Structure 1
Amino acid sequence: MRTIKQGHLVILLIVFYTNFSLKAQIIPGVYKAVDQNINHELKISDDYLIYSIYKKKPATFIKTVGGFYSIDDNTLKLIVAFNSNFEADAVRELNLPFSIIENGLKLTTTDSEIEFQKLESLSQDLDGQWLFATRGPDSGQKRRGEENARKTLKFLMDGRFQWIAYQTETMQFSGTGGGSFTSEDGIYTENIEYFSRDNTRVGATLKFNYEIKEKDWHHTGINSKGEPMYEIWTSRN
């Protein structure tokens, strides 16, 4: 009887570590690929990913899709929270087979196989996922959060940023933009490399002030229209 129980324990441990290793195969970070002047960028945390496609020259936004994911048998299973092409393809779920390659991963999409290389890890003050909560200053006003269908998300990782405005129930997509960023000594700088609403904004550099108060990011300065801005973002992490 003891031998049988020990055998069961060994089997359970094998199953556990096999599942763990599958989940751990993809190292969180930013992965990039360039194919015929088309940039593919994959930002991936432990449970959330964003896949964006754009051109730098001429500046052209092509597509972005993202949401929470799981891994099953070397397949990324994405529950789509936003999809810039939803009106055309109505996609709410994606299954993306992948394999690990040296310093990166190979992702199989409906169109092709793409080999991504992982960017060097870079830790900065504002790294993480942030949801827009309210306009500042904070005087106890109503805030938006995870429970709201209408969201604006900022995803900052390894020196890359992206914001996305979307609605999870209707799948309405309102816009996105991204590129590189720095956050140091209270100064947050964005360098725009793609912008879905207006490609002419690509190449702009925007500087803001930031302050972290508990789980909130207080984001202040002058917006792209030259107007004073005070936004409060709350950490999703």
Structure 2
Amino acid sequence: MKTTKSVLCIILLLILTASGEVAAQIAKGVYHFDQEKEGSTVHHELKISDSYFIHSVYEKSPAKFIKTLGGFYAVENNELKVDLEFNSDYEKDSITELAIPYVIFDGNLILNTNNKMIFVRAESNEQELDGPWLFATRGPDEGQKRRGEADSRKTLKFLLDGRFQWIAFDTEGFQFKGTGGGSYTANNGTYAESIAYFSRDNSRVGATLQFDYEVKGDDWHHKGKNSQGEPMYEIWGKRGPM
């Protein structure tokens, strides 16, 4: 039944697209799509803000990170055009930009790639820390040098509707360093992450980490223990509008 509904949905979308009746901006949010491949389920997650796009792919059971890519996007003539900042598969495919035809139907985002993918938008779950953050420095804040937008080496943390992802990359040479992500909550000074994928160590999937946080101006002060159980104090700076 689910497959039949998907096929009918695609047929209707193709008819509407051909007649020029489907044209819509992409609503900000988190979108999900499950793909059956070689006997396993591959999960695709899109995080889309007003101007930034991240596509992450992984298997849930057994845990396996597959790839991630992302960057600033614009919509032109029903195409999603992305100028990538990072691509974990860059050494294999050399891709630095995307141009993906898309349509919106019944609130879902359909990407017309080689295999059409129907992404379902998750319910909105806005929280205080939602938005893009760049790692600035180790705490405490004592006037030390900070990393920021001008540096080619970046660690981006992107939080949206209860989902988080960090990505370490260097725009010089288009180098990808690592990523991890999953779900998060931020309430009353307590921030918790549940890891759904981790490019450096699949065995860390399923772990939940809890931290203390405080927002001071445009800085997020993040204290606790890292995934190895070591104490940490990080300061993240709010990135510009994305």
* TM score, norm. by length of structure 2: 0.87
* 1:81-129 superposed Cα distances (whole Å, 9 cap, x missing partner): 00000000111111111100112110123x4110000000011111000
CA distance in 2, matches of 1:228, 1:156: 22
Which amino acid is the alignment partner of residue 61 of structure 1? Answer: F
Q: Which residue of 1 aligns with 2:30?
A: 30
Q: CA RMSD in A?
A: 1.2
Task: Say which SS state the counterpart of residue 148 (structure 1) adopts.
Answer: coil
Q: Give the deviation of 1:135 after TM superposition.
A: 0.4
Q: Which residue of 1 aligns with 2:165?
A: 162
1:220 paired residue number: 223
Q: Please, which of 51, 57, 66 is the counterpart of residue 55 of structure 2?
A: 51
Q: Partners in 2 of 1:171 and 1:210 — Cα distance?
A: 31
Structure 1 unpaired stretches of 5+: 1-20
Q: Deviations over 1:139-190 (max 9, x none)?
A: 1111011111000001100100000000112111110000000000000000
How much has 1:222 moved relative to structure 2? Answer: 1.1
Secondary structure of the corresponding residue to residue 197 of structure 1: coil
Residues 1-237 of structure 1 aligned to structure 2 (within 5 Å): 25-36=25-36, 37-109=41-113, 111-236=114-239, 237=241
Q: Secondary structure at the match of 2:146?
A: coil
**Percent of counterpart pairs with the same letter?**
60
Aligned residues: 215
* Contact 2:110 2:119 (C-alpha < 8 Å) held by counterparts: yes
In the alignment, which residue of structure 1 is the partner of 2:14?
none
TM-score for the superposition, normalised by structure 1: 0.89
